[in-house]
């Protein structure tokens, strides 16, 4: 049986962001989010979500820079203090590593930012949530009530 469109919706913001970070549509988790490396599709090929509302701008680059910087800082400290490496050796390790990390992080960061925009209904995205089942009323027996009148 084909799952209903609503059953494909993510339950939490984290789930939506993870779908985006894995380059999947945040709404259905199935369709690919990008048609090129950093170029999102106009529509999800599976659920037809209109992705033209996305405008991640420079935010994915900021995320990549901040994460890369924080991950490499202890390495730089170790190279200088513990391993006593010279500047040429440090830069020959650091620059390729930083470039690889930042380039590798751009697409997941952009996917997560697009997913966040969709989740919060920004820039023309329609905010969609899984409908919660109404909670069943709790049943109390008269005996329970007599044992504990405050319940
Ligand atoms: Zn989709």
Residue 147 lies in a domain: no
In this structure, is residue 137 part of a structural domain?
no
pLDDT by residue (tens digit) across 34-77? Answer: 999 999 999 999 999 999 999 999 999 999 999 999 999 999 99
For residue 36, tell me if it sits in a domain. yes
Percent of the chain having pLDDT more than 90?
Answer: 70
In a domain, 113, yes or no: yes
Global pTM reads 0.77
Report the C-alpha gap between 122 and 107 in whole angstroms.
20
| Rounded distance between C-alpha atoms, residue 60 and residue 107, angstroms | 8
Neighbours of ion ligand 1 (CB under 5 A): 25, 27-28, 31, 44, 46-47, 49
Give the residue numbers spanning the domain of 70. Answer: 7-130
- Asked, for residue 139, whether it belongs to a domain, the answer is no
Q: What is the distance in A from the centroid of ligand 1 to the CA of 33?
A: 8
* Ligand 1: centre distance to CA 15 (Å): 14
| Cα distance between residue 19 and residue 30, in whole Å | 9
Residue 115 pLDDT greater than 60, yes or no? yes
What is the tally of structural domains in the chain?
1
> Does some domain include residue 135?
no
Determine the distance separating the centroid of ligand 1 and the alpha carbon of 71, expressed in angstroms: 32
């Amino acid at each position: 049986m084909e799952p209903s469109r609503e059953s494909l919706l993510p339950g939490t913001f984290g789930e939506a962001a993870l779908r985006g970070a894995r380059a999947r549509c945040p709404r259905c988790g199935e369709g690919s989010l990008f048609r090129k490396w950093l170029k999102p599709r106009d529509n999800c090929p599976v659920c037809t979500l209109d992705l033209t509302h996305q405008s991640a701008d420079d935010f994915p680059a900021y995320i990549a820079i901040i994460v890369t910087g924080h991950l490499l800082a202890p390495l730089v400290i170790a190279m200088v203090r513990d391993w006593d490496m010279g500047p040429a050796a440090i830069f020959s390790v650091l620059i390729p590593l930083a470039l690889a990390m930042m380039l590798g992080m751009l697409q997941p960061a952009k996917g997560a930012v697009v997913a966040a925009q969709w989740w919060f209904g920004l820039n023309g995205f329609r905010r969609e949530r899984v409908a919660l089942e109404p909670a069943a009323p709790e049943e109390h027996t008269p005996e329970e009530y007599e044992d504990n009148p405050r319940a």
